[in-house]
Structure 1
Amino acid sequence: MAMKGFSKRKPPIASLIAIVIVSAGCLALIFSFFQSSGSNIPRSSNRKWSGKGNSCNYTNGIWVRLANPPPLRYDNSCKEIFKGWNCISAKKPNVREITAWRWKPFECDIPPLNPSLFLNRFKNKKIGFVGDSLNRNMFVSLVCMLKGAASGEVKKMRPAGADRGFIFKDYNLTIAYHRTNLLVRYGRWSASGNGGDLESLGYKQGYRVDVDVPDRSWAEAPMFHDILIFNSGHWWWAPSKFDPREMPMLFFQGGVPVLPVPSPKDGFDLALKNMVAHVDRTAQHKIKIFRTQSPRHFEGGDWFEGGSCTRTMPLSTQQVEEMFDIERNGTNVENRVVNGHILRALAGSGFRVLHVTHVSEFRADGHPAAAGGKIHDDCMHWCLPGVTDTWNDLLSHILDSI
């Protein structure tokens, strides 16, 4: 018996057809989603990163060659470019191709840094780069981009012990570079005639590295700058600079030797721990960023072994893993090893991380190499303009998200 109020009439044919069409459409959407999720080929997207929050995982992406590369953001006429990095003047064969590629995250789109907007946004601010020559590479890239868009005078200066710096007068914006190889103070050490703990262990000479004392070049930087970008690592993994047999690194803390004598990697951990705490303490209300390791691309041996970097195209994902996989323990493995130490030291700190390592691992084509008649290929630093311009795009992305 039928329930009262319900009809036994069959639904119209048109309704059945509509249901089938809608169901088919839903299945197509679901299939499309799973198909795109399983692919690492970047698809065009109109979604721009909004500048709010940290929704964009910018490290997961691919370099895409632009069909019509835009004009250079600056050229070899920028006087701040170190001669060895000026690949245009040195006539590097693939120099124009280096800037024809753009980093494209899979999940979003990060536009190139807009120099005019950057200058106006950071009026009355002070930005300091603290680290080795790779941070200078990034510092010069930013200065060259901004100088092309700035109105008024751009004056050289050396604030707070900086190696070099500039003030963009119309914006009262200061950008400086503080050179430091290890972040901490170090200098030559020789055995004392009166003996001591290190002398009793047979040490006669080496480098004294005070893991709890910031290098003088940047000691005042946390109090002076509003935004700080740090890096360190290359010099810690440099046996050609610190010979473990003839001139070992000898670590001091609180003015006395650390015993037993740590290895350089353990000394690096001590230095990072102390310096991160020091900056957190002295720059509590500042923006603090630590940049991850810049990858090297030596093939056929290290720089002092005749290694070279002759690639003219970015690497594939498989080639990246072949060159940088830690288990392979190749010539360039230091960048991923160093990153492990950096990220452990930053855990729980007030630092943000600027991840450039994986983004840059693909760009074996972006180094000066033998351009300019170098004796050894430079497969560590980057051509300018070049890959470090993208680092500054990512820096701008992070600053916009704060």
Structure 2
Amino acid sequence: MEKKKPMVGIWDVHVKHMFESSIIIFFIIGALATTAVYYVNSDEQETSRQPAVRKSFVYDDSLDGCDLFSGKWVHDNNSYPLYKELECPYIPGEFACGQHGRMDSMYQQWRWKPHGCNLPRFDAKEVLEKLRGKRVIFVGDSVNRNQWLSMVCLLQSAIPLGLKKMHKVADASLFTFKAFEYDASIDFYWAPLLVQSNADHPSKHKRSDRIVHIETIEKHAKNWVNADILVFNSYLWWGTPTLKVLYDSYKDSKRYNIVSNHDGYRMVLEKWSNWLTTHVNHTRTRSYFMSMTATHQRGTDWGMQGNGNCLNETKPVMTDLFWESGSDLQMMKILELSLSKLKARGVNVKLVNITQLTQYRKDGHPSIHRLFYSTLKAKQLSNPSRYADCTHWCLPGVPDVWNELLVANIFQGLK
């Protein structure tokens, strides 16, 4: 006898459908939630990959123990440039690369990333507050002038019109930028060999030879004694193999010695050290020395064929610890030893070591994109690499980072 199948009521079918529908809805909601979480996380991950705008410059303990001078260049077009070329009226023609035909702009968009920490972004108002009532003097050659003008451009944007002024001091190699609202002065003093020399005129100083008066620093140094912050450099003008060292006045220059550039540098740094020890109140004044910068004259250093140089270079060298052949390491060692001896005498001059980080930046020079103060000859024009400036730096650009490093050291000393 055939068994009867159990009857399924309408209510049972309805419940069954509701149950199955609930399961389907549950899985749909779960799938949607999972998808939402995925996209939220994806958005967060994508956001984290974007170059973030760095925090303003606040010196804190996170920089303690970090070697600010060992690191790499990272492309960052969110944080850089720190100002626009056309918005700074103080950039002279030799550093205004964009105004003189340079079309690429990536050279302005690199930040220095030290290993193990982050260098905070320059904050003009905060720096001006720290410098309120103070006088800063950059002393040295045209590369130090390059850095001084970078500092002026970094700060001036935060100062209203009518409350700032740039001028040359009469009868002195002194240029000064005044921030009246902050009672601050950011100055530059031209002294490429630190002591008195035949290169002392701030504009008429082209010489095939080098002559220094080894006993005379006071003519220059009397303009530095009342500074709160001193920023020195001296390197480029020591590039000749030998120089004359005078012991008499320029009017009676029969008595002199011819010495090597290394010996001359050592002698001048000793004279400078003695002056700094006896004439500067180191309780009030903080002193810094900017190390030598690279001059990218030989393209073969980074793999270029032929006799090229920095002309048409648009990106940094990315090889770790790259070193160009024109940098005189012996000069660097002489400087480091001089500063070490000074420290042993109780005078701490902080070395701001920008040498390695400039080695990579073959792209940061004006090359032919600058103002020339004399008419170029046909022979020069036929070979642009021969008159390309691979020594100085475009603004905005690499010197802005030097000032971020300088400010980090100044803030560390003031904290």
Q: Same fold per TM (> 0.5)?
A: yes
- The equivalent residue for 1:63 is 73
Assess, with a 3 A threshold, how the Cα gap between structure 1 residues 268 and 257 changes in structure 2: closer, same or farther.
farther
Residue 262 of structure 1: CA displacement? 2.1
**Cα offsets for 1:120-141 (capped at 9, x unmatched):** 1111000000000000000000
**Cα offsets for 1:44-63 (capped at 9, x unmatched):** 9x999615874220111111
Residue aligned with 2:111, SS:
strand
**Cα offsets for 1:304-346 (capped at 9, x unmatched):** x97521321110225x53x43xxxxx3x132x33211211111
| Residue 250 (1) aligns with residue 260 (2) | no
Q: Distance in 2 between matches of 1:347 and 1:72?
A: 34
Cα pair 1:368 1:378 within 8 Å, conserved: yes
Matched to 1:290, the amino acid is: F
Residue 90 of structure 1: CA displacement? 1.6
Cα pair 1:119 1:150 within 8 Å, conserved: no
Matched to 2:275, the amino acid is: H
Count matched residues: 322
Residue 297 of structure 1: CA displacement? 0.8
Q: Distance in 2 between matches of 1:144 and 1:308?
A: 28
**Cα offsets for 1:154-187 (capped at 9, x unmatched):** 1234469343111110100001100112111123
Alignment counterpart, residue 365 of structure 2, candidates 364, 367, 385: 367
Residue 277 of structure 1: CA displacement? 1.8
Cα pair 2:368 2:388 within 8 Å, conserved: yes
Alignment counterpart, residue 392 of structure 2, candidates 381, 390, 397: 381
Matched to 2:121, the amino acid is: P
Give me the TM-score of the superposition, normalised by structure 2. Answer: 0.70
Cα pair 2:81 2:396 within 8 Å, conserved: no
Q: Distance in 1 between matches of 2:239 and 2:109?
A: 32
Which sections of structure 1, spanning at least 5 residues, go unmatched? 1-42, 189-204, 325-329
- The equivalent residue for 2:13 is none
| Residue 237 (1) aligns with residue 225 (2) | no
- 1:168-317, aligned counterparts within 5 Å? 168-187=179-198, 208-214=211-217, 216=219, 218-238=220-240, 249-253=243-247, 261-285=258-282, 286-300=285-299, 308-309=309-310, 310-317=312-319
- The equivalent residue for 1:138 is 147
Which sections of structure 2, spanning at least 5 residues, go unmatched? 1-50, 200-207, 373-379, 381-386
Matched to 1:104, the amino acid is: K
Matched to 2:215, the amino acid is: D
Give me the TM-score of the superposition, normalised by structure 1. Answer: 0.72
Q: CA RMSD in A?
A: 3.1
- The equivalent residue for 2:411 is 400
Residue aligned with 1:342, SS:
helix
| Residue 80 (1) aligns with residue 90 (2) | yes
Assess, with a 3 A threshold, how the Cα gap between structure 1 residues 110 and 293 changes in structure 2: closer, same or farther.
same
Assess, with a 3 A threshold, how the Cα gap between structure 1 residues 208 and 386 changes in structure 2: closer, same or farther.
closer
Residue aligned with 2:213, SS:
strand
Alignment counterpart, residue 120 of structure 2, candidates 104, 107, 111: 111
